[in-house]
Structure 1
Amino acid sequence: MESSGGFTQTIHQKNAKTICIIGAGAAGLISLKTILDTHQYKSGEWKPTVYESRDRIGGTWVPSPPSDNPPLTALYDSLTTNLPHPIMALPDHPFPPSTAVFPCASVVQKYLENYADQFSLASHIQVSTNVNNIEWDGHRWKVTLSTGQGPHFDLVIVCNGHYRIPRYPSIPGIKEWLNARRASHAAWYRRPYDLGRTILIVGGGPSGQDISADMRETTTTVIHSVTGAIPEDIGNLKRRGRVTEFRNGGEVLFEDGTIESGVDFCILATGYEFSFPFMSDSLIHSGYPSTIPPLPRNLFNSTHHLFPLAKHIFPLQTMFPPTSIAFMGLLTMGSAFPVMDAQAQAIVQAFANPHILDPTQEMINIFSRYEKLYSQSTDPVSIAKNWHKVKPREQFNYRDDLYRFSAASGIIKFREVPEWQKEAYDNRDILRKAWVEVVRRGEADTWVKGVGEGGPHEWIDLLNRLQQWAQESLHIPQPSLERHVLQREVNMTT
């Protein structure tokens, strides 16, 4: 005879809530692992399935040739993280000992694969399976897969990433350059190659900086266009402001009125659009919502932001319950993996206890953020561009708020972002400049050899030493935050 516990578990499994996770990049893996940690999964009340369109996990970190249109990933050969890995690692999964402080993409991909192995995620993931469509039938989510009609799901987590669809700037003349094959988006860039003697890179983000550095090795002159930049020439690099017009004959006009002639090719490192091709216009309207208040009754995708979302996660609209679907990883300018870990914690709490999401308070929070951004610019495009963009310290308050929300039920213990992570993030540029010099000198392996074998505090100590070395040996200006705080964290964790 079956025990009462086994009988109860059988009933739970029969009536289990099914959860569809779209994408097996970092966001999808973090979501799945967080679900597997819950008592709802362990008791058979929840049944998650991850669908990944590619043939392996890892999302944007999995390399691919630029043959598709658009390419499957924007990953280029020289990419390394722009954050030291001790502050970008997941709380329960540090990078291995002796890892380079700013690891290359293949190391991050291996890190995600090890994460999936350590927490036994593979059995819940279906690769080479695309989610073609989801729609709300009034009670559940009907999912259509590339393999045919899929099952219905009670809950959905959207983790399809936002580095796939290239964003092209609306600059006069750019279409003519693209049609003439004198310009392309950075999504197709993989490594430096001969594109002519004078190359223009547009965009001041990490990819724009990396590609500018790459191309300096293979071309005579690189012009790097960054909005608001002060014009200066350094060797074969010319820094210029925003491009205001692309003209015939390789002529380019900049915001300060200067003109560069003889430009052979332009690479547009101008970012990517939010895209949810598996959701119809009835679920997500294209364009910009009207001025608020009140909140729109529908969800809007401006390609810059998804609006309105409670906590940048849950859609506040009238078509379906806001806690029946969640969007992961939309925030920018932060430490992505830890932010998504906090989001995943909040998502499982809202799935388990929908009543803990207070729509009224969330609307107030949205109104407050809108008012702040509106006071800076009334342009809806500007508001949309900045909606999911957080300032360095805002991300930590956001993470703490999510952890506090997740702990509201008393099941999960509240945890707070440690102070050393905040300060190391503030000093990330100094640390990266120092690490680049360490690599240039061939001393990288010596710096990290064995670090981490004795525990996480060894990485805190290394960042402390690297920052001190940058100030004393490289004469990099004193950072905004004091070194003793990092040292205090070392003492506390030793």
Structure 2
Amino acid sequence: MELPDVRIERTENLVPKRLCIIGAGPAGLAALKIILDTPQYQSGAWVPVAYETRDQVGGVWLPALSTADDLPFSPLYDSLTTNLPHPVMAYTSFPFPPETPVFPPARVVETYLKSYAKMSNLLPHIQLNTSVDTVERLTDGQGQWKVKLSSEQIEVFDFLIVCNGHYRVPRYPEIPGLESWRASNHAMHSAWYRRPTHEYGDKVLVIGAGPSGLDISSEMAENGVTIIHSIRENRSEDLGNIKRRGSVVEFKDNGVVLFEDGTVEEGISFCIIATGYETTFPFLPEPAIIRNTLPPPIPPIPQSLYNSTFHVFPLAKHIFPLGYTNPNIAFLGLLVRVAPFPLLEAQARATVHVFANPSTLDYTREAVDIMSRYANLSSELASEDPLMIAQVWHRFTDYEQFDYRDSLYEFSDASTQEGITGIEGRIVVPDWEKKMYDAKGVLRQFWIYLEKEGLAEVWLRGVGKGGIHEWVELLERMLRDASKNGGESVKEDTLDADKSKL
């Protein structure tokens, strides 16, 4: 992909603006990369620095040891692979290498992120082994940010980009008896899970139907463990070693669990809780910068910033606090159920655009958009319960994420706005990307099939060396073959032909 066009005007005798990025995971790396693309950085007007708590970049994709006493920095389990095909999840400016497995394991994504940082020359701007402990907004001047680091050093910045990630602090359901099970070491959050082990016993309850809950259930069942899988849908069915059940309503003594339909399971040896994570900002003081509670119902839109642990509210474009007339803080990566890496790039483009040109953020229009989304969600949920709305506020459905990305690039295209200095041009989400995102489940099952049959290497051979179109052609071929014979994987003659190439 061609590098974006920029307008560069050399600044003379000006004090550079300083930008602080909290975190060097996927969001922080995207933010830093886009900053380096700006004319402000290239003219010396901006100086960015990213602070990363750990000794390497990568964020959630950097593995972490699981110990009983400490909360892991990452919840990655050994067998984790992506649930999106990598041509869909990659940064638009940096594809995965040729012949990368279509659904790569976590270690491949880790390497990819490190390569992205190296190839984009981000590492000189990242300070590793350094966390941001506290942030204070100065009330004089332009509302700069005083940042205290784990090294006890204090720095002052003009702009703050929050990219700390949200896959560390476990979210626990409120179920009677669960705390007793946790206290007796008969239950743990999936954040600590790494691999199947006999230490969990022969009959394990897994709560949660997200990617980790599904993966853990399947993996442990394949290792001979009987799995009781609790999901929100109130249905009971047995699928081999996996027994699907509805929501848990009570944990009793001696391995007994009661479900909402009245079903009782006995002899459960352990429970793994895969119910997600809380959004937290331990470095932002309360209530000076953020209030860690549910916001009140609207209207009116509150001037304070709220963190419900499900959402941050109110944010213009899901990025900028609406109560700040000087938009010099941005939150990246809050959206869920999206293709994250390319979306983070789009958010970063909007961020640098607003930082450089604050007048382009129309607060009245953004307030109307927030009110409209609130009303639409209330209607869809048939409820104005703030908690229910908070739980889905940053969750996009259908093609909403792609329209959002397109709108961010349109908003931040400096070539269409007179008197604006910034990155020119925009990226439009291609139709194939939408199609393959929709088909991610079918594609993943077909890819698992190819790997089990020993065919993955043949299908990948040489793909990507000629450009992104080769990945698109491969994904199209996978969809065609997955749909053959009424949905069966592939015909036997195709299998035989492919196997002969090994």
Could you tell me the TM-score, scaled by structure 1's length? 0.92
Aligned structure 1 segments of 4 or more residues deviating by more than 4 angstroms: 7-10
Task: Indicate yes or no: 2:406 matched with 1:400.
Answer: yes
Distance 1:185 1:219 in 2: 21
Deviation at 1:262, TM superposition (A): 1.0
SS in structure 2 of the partner of residue 233 of structure 1 = strand
1:442 is aligned, of 440, 454, 458, to 454
AA aligned opposite 2:361: L
Which residue is equivalent to 1:74? 75
1:388 is aligned, of 390, 394, 400, to 394
Distance 1:39 1:183 in 2: 52
- 1:234-313 aligned at under 5 Å gives the runs 234-281=239-286, 282-313=288-319
- 1:160-199 aligned at under 5 Å gives the runs 160-194=164-198, 195-199=200-204
Preserved contact between residue 430 and residue 470 of structure 1 (Cα < 8 Å): yes
Distance 1:142 1:473 in 2: 63
SS in structure 2 of the partner of residue 111 of structure 1 = helix
Which residue is equivalent to 2:231? 226
Structure 1 residues not aligned, in runs of 5+: 1-6, 478-494
Structure 2 residues not aligned, in runs of 5+: 1-8, 417-422, 490-502
Which residue is equivalent to 1:337? 341
- 1:118-133 aligned at under 5 Å gives the runs 118-133=119-134
Deviation at 1:473, TM superposition (A): 5.3
SS in structure 2 of the partner of residue 275 of structure 1 = coil
Distance 2:130 2:225 in 1: 45
Preserved contact between residue 199 and residue 219 of structure 1 (Cα < 8 Å): no
Distance 1:173 1:379 in 2: 26
Distance 1:311 1:257 in 2: 44
Q: Structure 1 residues 474 and 78, CA, compared in 2 at 3 Å: closer, same or farther?
A: farther
Which residue is equivalent to 1:11? 13
- 1:322-401 aligned at under 5 Å gives the runs 323-375=327-379, 376=381, 377-401=383-407
Please list the CA deviations of residues 305-364 of structure 1 after superposition, one character each: whole Å capped at 9, or x if unmatched. Answer: 1000011100112xx445210000000000000110110110010011001000111010
SS in structure 1 of the partner of residue 424 of structure 2 = coil
Preserved contact between residue 332 and residue 347 of structure 2 (Cα < 8 Å): yes
AA aligned opposite 1:397: D
Distance 2:92 2:205 in 1: 40
Please list the CA deviations of residues 278-303 of structure 1 after superposition, one character each: whole Å capped at 9, or x if unmatched. Answer: 00002110111111011112100110
Which residue is equivalent to 1:480? none
Give the root-mean-square deviation of aligned CA atoms: 1.5
AA aligned opposite 2:63: P
AA aligned opposite 2:131: N
Deviation at 1:451, TM superposition (A): 0.2
Deviation at 1:70, TM superposition (A): 1.4
Q: Could you tell me the percent identity over the aligned residues?
A: 51
Preserved contact between residue 314 and residue 322 of structure 1 (Cα < 8 Å): no
Preserved contact between residue 415 and residue 425 of structure 2 (Cα < 8 Å): no
> When the two structures are aligned, how many residues end up with a matched partner?
467
Distance 1:8 1:262 in 2: 72
SS in structure 2 of the partner of residue 142 of structure 1 = strand
Please list the CA deviations of residues 34-80 of structure 1 after superposition, one character each: whole Å capped at 9, or x if unmatched. Answer: 00001100000000000000001001111111126211110110100
Q: Structure 1 residues 290 and 33, CA, compared in 2 at 3 Å: closer, same or farther?
A: same
SS in structure 2 of the partner of residue 133 of structure 1 = strand
1:201 is aligned, of 203, 206, 209, to 206
Please list the CA deviations of residues 58-105 of structure 1 after superposition, one character each: whole Å capped at 9, or x if unmatched. Answer: 011111111262111101101000000011111110000000000000
Please list the CA deviations of residues 244-278 of structure 1 after superposition, one character each: whole Å capped at 9, or x if unmatched. Answer: 11111211111222111111100000000000000
Deviation at 1:374, TM superposition (A): 1.6
Distance 1:334 1:465 in 2: 24
Distance 1:414 1:25 in 2: 24
Please list the CA deviations of residues 435-478 of structure 1 after superposition, one character each: whole Å capped at 9, or x if unmatched. Answer: 1111111111111111000111000000000011111157259x
1:427 is aligned, of 439, 447, 460, to 439
Deviation at 1:128, TM superposition (A): 0.2
Could you tell me the TM-score, scaled by structure 2's length? 0.91
